[in-house]
């Protein structure tokens, strides 16, 4: 049987690779790395443990996964990188382990991380997220499912990006990005609903109309933030509205970054 591990690869005896894993030339796989079925590890990639990688992932040339966090608080405690299934991790992506004993940096399923993306310690990326080239995520960033980021942007530590949000390229994201919204510019502002993304996701016309009304209340009205939340309660109780209201309230809690404001004077989330 032809081996799936290139003879120049270095694989630690304390790693655990499924027999169907392919390992390219000069790749290095350290101790306490576990890789699931049909995952492909490209040439010159480096994986350090503790690290768990699921099934059918493709890790391209030069990616570095599981390295110690770039965090002065890290004192060598046992932490993890945990990656799900069906992810594409392109050239020279870096994914660091977490800080804090037992903590993990987590990548879910069906994500695309393009070349030179950096995922710092304690980040969580859910499912079906697209992160283009040269995006840098600081520590503790949380990106929810089906969010889309533009290229060459930076995301501040502890920022949350909501599901189905779209962030334009070369932006600086310092505050939470509400779900369903499109954020871009310098400084970053909520511009409109992510209509293209929502339609591609199959959202029906009735739910889209409700979200359009919610957008106008938040970003095109004279309501304060508290008043806008109260008005959102009157729009109905769809799953999308429940989630949007919950995200907006949580963004005001201690430890969160607050909300990215709207672009005009008439914005319940504008504070400058």
Domains and CATH numbers, the chain: 10-140 (2.160.10.10)
Q: Tell me: pLDDT of 87 over 60.
A: yes
Confidence tier at 3 by pLDDT (50, 70, 90): low
Q: Tell me: pLDDT of 1 over 50.
A: no
At 230-266, the pLDDT tens digits run: 999 999 899 999 999 999 999 999 999 999 999 765 6
Per-residue buried b or exposed e for 83-118, using 16+ beta carbons within 10 Å of the residue's own CB: bbbbbebbbbbbbbbbbbeebbbbbbbbbebbbbbb
Confidence tier at 83 by pLDDT (50, 70, 90): very high
At 20-43, the pLDDT tens digits run: 999 999 999 999 999 999 999 999
Confidence tier at 2 by pLDDT (50, 70, 90): low
Give the predicted TM-score (pTM) of the model.
0.95
């Amino acid at each position: 049987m032809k081996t799936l591990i290139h003879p120049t690869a270095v694989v630690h005896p304390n790693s655990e690779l499924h027999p169907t894993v392919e390992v390219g030339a000069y790749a290095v796989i350290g101790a306490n790395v576990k890789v699931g079925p049909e995952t492909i590890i490209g040439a010159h990639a480096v994986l350090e443990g503790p690290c768990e990688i699921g099934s059918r992932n493709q890790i391209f040339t030069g990616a570095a996964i599981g390295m110690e966090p770039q965090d002065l608080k890290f004192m060598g405690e046992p932490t993890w990188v945990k990656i799900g299934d069906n992810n594409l991790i392109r050239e020279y992506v870096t994914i660091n382990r977490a800080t804090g004993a037992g903590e993990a940096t987590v990548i879910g399923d069906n994500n695309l991380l393009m070349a030179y993306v950096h995922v710092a310690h304690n980040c969580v990326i859910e499912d079906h997220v697209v992160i283009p080239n040269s995006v840098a995520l600081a520590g503790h960033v949380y990106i929810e499912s089906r969010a889309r980021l533009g290229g060459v942007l930076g995301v501040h530590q502890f920022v949350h990006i909501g599901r189905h949000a779209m962030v334009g390229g070369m932006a600086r994201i310092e505050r939470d990005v509400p779900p369903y919204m499109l954020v871009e510019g310098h400084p970053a502002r909520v511009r409109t609903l992510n209509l293209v993304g929502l339609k591609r996701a199959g959202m029906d016309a009735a739910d889209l109309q409700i979200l359009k009304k919610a957008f106008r209340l938040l970003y095109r009205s004279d309501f304060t933030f508290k008043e806008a939340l109260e008005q959102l309660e009157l729009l109905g109780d769809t799953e999308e509205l429940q989630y949007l209201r919950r995200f907006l309230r949580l963004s005001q809690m201690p430890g969160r970054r607050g909300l990215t404001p709207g672009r005009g004077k008439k914005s319940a989330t504008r504070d400058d």
